[in-house]
Amino acid sequence: MLRGKNVVLGVTGGIAAYKACEIISGLKKIGANIDVIMTKSAAEFITPYTFQSLTGNPAILNMFESPKYWDMEHISLAQKSDILLIAPATANIMGKVANGIADDMLTTTIMASNKPVVFAPAMNTKMYENPVVQKNMETLIARGYHIIPPKGGMLACGDEGQGKLQDVTIILEELQKIYQKELKTEKKDLEGLKFLVTAGPTREIIDPVRFLSNHSTGKMGYEIAKAIVKRGGRVTLISGPTSLRAPEGVDLVLVETAEEMFEAVKKAYPQCDILIKSAAVSDYRPKIREAQKVKKESQEEEMQLTLVRNPDILLELGKMKKPGNIHVGFAAETENIVEHGQEKIQKKNLDFIVANDVTEEGAGFAHNTNIVHFIDKNGDHSKTEKVEKSAIAHEILDKVLLLK
């Protein structure tokens, strides 16, 4: 897959820098062409000549030493590369990229690249677990960078825990998977298809200062919308309140309540072929929306709030479904995932449902990752590993394409 492709290997300063040699020989076996960019601190552990001998290409070290050269080089390497792998990646390089600092050859190349960038971190366990490092990695993932997590074990510094550079064979496997996935997004295989995606929670208003809602952050729906645009499809994204920025190229409609979402969906539906309903819609709303803030009664220890049913948007749309249309539902469950999923497929006239067990570690609301069950109307069922929501988004779209 990477045969004949250009890999830029960024090497940063850590005891695992020598493992970059093993990565290079693995990449050479695959048939890739490799350019190494190393940071100044990497050169404390290993020399550029080692990389030069292994790759047959000059290893680039410090952009300030030959200004005329780097000025062109960081752009040309960024353009020439098919994928960038930073291995080992220190906390420092990830912190810089996450925060937009470009002050050497490697960081400028990463910033100038529109190709997939993959970090394989290696560092001391405590450093790896530091919330600042974890936050930076979350930022990188949210911005579309990839991370191959380190493994656990005895570290060079004597500490034991997670932080060891992942096995080279796993790094190479992951790198190829990421490359293949990104290649698919270049294919524009959704051209001509019109999607309607819902995302986020709804808010059901009690009074001007209070509402009922749920833990949905909208991440899954926004990832789906982003993936559709990347693959050349058109998408209207109807979103409840979230803190996310709409992906570029998406027609965004913002709503607050389930009733508003229902109206917006009904309006957009006739122009769409595929409905993906990832929003976590509140099933009930307060019967009365108070115009003024509800004050507590001094004597009352309890208060009653009467709720009424919201429309089931997916069920109502299922009644309007035209031949050729595809409806995909979501389900957040805590038990009997497959049974509940199948019931919902029948009841709501769905082609398939993406169900997750929100009790599972790394699944469901507010995570960047998820573990989902795909259940289709013919009874087929499969379950993903714990993967990034962006990967699930692409898998959903692959399944939709198979039905087209």
Question: Residues with catalytic annotation?
Answer: 157
The whole-angstrom separation of Cα 64 and Cα 68 is 9
By the 8 A CB rule, do 357 and 333 touch? Answer: yes
Cβ atoms of residues 195 and 222 within 8 Å = no
- Alpha-carbon distance 120 to 116, whole Å? 13
Residues that bind ligand CTP (CB under 6 A): 258, 277, 279, 281, 283, 310, 312-314, 329-332, 344
Q: How far apart are CA 167 and CA 148, in angstroms?
A: 10
Nearer to ligand CTP, 123 or 279 (CB): 279
The Cβ of residue 58 has, within 10 Å, a number of other Cβ atoms equal to: 14
- Smallest gap from residue 324 Cβ to ligand CTP (A): 20
Q: What is the H or E stretch that residue 403 is in?
A: helix 389-403
Q: Which is nearer to ligand CTP, 55 or 202 (CB)?
A: 202
- Classify strands 352-357 and 373-376 as parallel, antiparallel or unpaired: antiparallel
Least distance to ligand CTP, CB of residue 247, Å: 20
Q: Residue 110 or 353: which CB sits closer to ligand CTP?
A: 353
The DSSP element (H or E) to which 235 belongs, if any, is strand 234-239
Residue 282 C-beta: closest distance to ligand CTP, Å: 7
Question: Is the CB of 122 or the CB of 238 nearer to ligand CTP?
Answer: 238
Minimum distance, C-beta of residue 258 to ligand CTP, in the bound complex (Å): 6
* β partners of residue 201: 280
Q: Is 384 helix (H, G, I), strand (E, B) or coil?
A: coil
Separation in Å, CA 205 to CA 15, 89, 211, 238, 293: 56, 47, 4, 19, 11
CB of 202 to ligand CTP, least distance (A): 8
Give the contacts of 302 (CB within 8 A, at least 6 positions apart).
none
Nearer to ligand CTP, 119 or 330 (CB): 330
